[in-house]
Amino acid sequence: MKKILSFGAIALAATSVFAQKALKVGATPEPHAEILNLVKEDLAAKGIDLQVVEFTDYVTPNDAVEAGDIDANYFQHIPYLESFNKEKGYHLVNAAGIHVEPFALYSSKVKKIADLKKKATIAIPNDPTNEGRALLLLQEAGLIELKKGAGITATPLDIAKNPKKLKFKEIEAASLPRTLKDVDGAVINGNYAIPAGLSAKKDGLFVEGSSSPYVNVIAVKAGNENKEEIKALIEAIKSEKVKKFISEKYPNGEVVVVF
């Protein structure tokens, strides 16, 4: 009888494995993929096979969701998502806000903003919303002044005052950490600064405030936000387990939860 029960238990376990629903979620490596991998077992217990697909750019994860190649992605903030939809005619929506990664101005050549020389070169992201976000940060730091009305889509052409006559290099966001040795400063996204060993609080010359509207979200194609698997994913991420992990892994505020 014991042998029969054991065989039955094995068969039941095998059936539950094969019955799992696959959930493909695209993410940039750190901290997004890291956080997703943390909840894989939690979702497996609910019959969901979370498959984390890593991307190193900001375009293909959205292309993949729109095309239905993956079910969701986790890497971007709301202004970027909205700008992407407008530019591409996509139908991506915010399923849940998870965390903020403060932007910061970094430099390997000076220790404080006042030491930036005239005509210093600053590298900034070349995608629309992150470029505007970088320029708004530099304005907040007192380095430039933007034209009235210039917002998250600002470009260097919208600079009204530039006392230090700073020069700007528009670079793909993922490449910004590697430019530090070649420029006087660089405004770097958190998910690229962190893997490069940069801490906004410790290394940043100027850091975005904690009230940042640039919350990183779980994005899905419109109509999929109420799927049970997506709801389960959000519940798993918005947990004390994840909150504890983030507070311990990023004690200097490189990643700040919003739940």
Give me the half-sphere count of Cα atoms (radius 13 Å) on the Cβ side of residue 100. Answer: 19
pLDDT of residue 12: 47
pLDDT of residue 1: 40
CA distance 18 to 182: 52
Q: Identify the residue whose tokens are 């947990």.
A: 239
What is the value of pTM for the model shown?
0.79
pLDDT of residue 19: 75
Query: Tokens standing for 19?
Result: 């019955």
pLDDT of residue 4: 44
pLDDT of residue 211: 62
Extract the residue ranges of the chain whose pLDDT is less than 50: 1-5, 7-8, 11-17
Residue type, 184: D
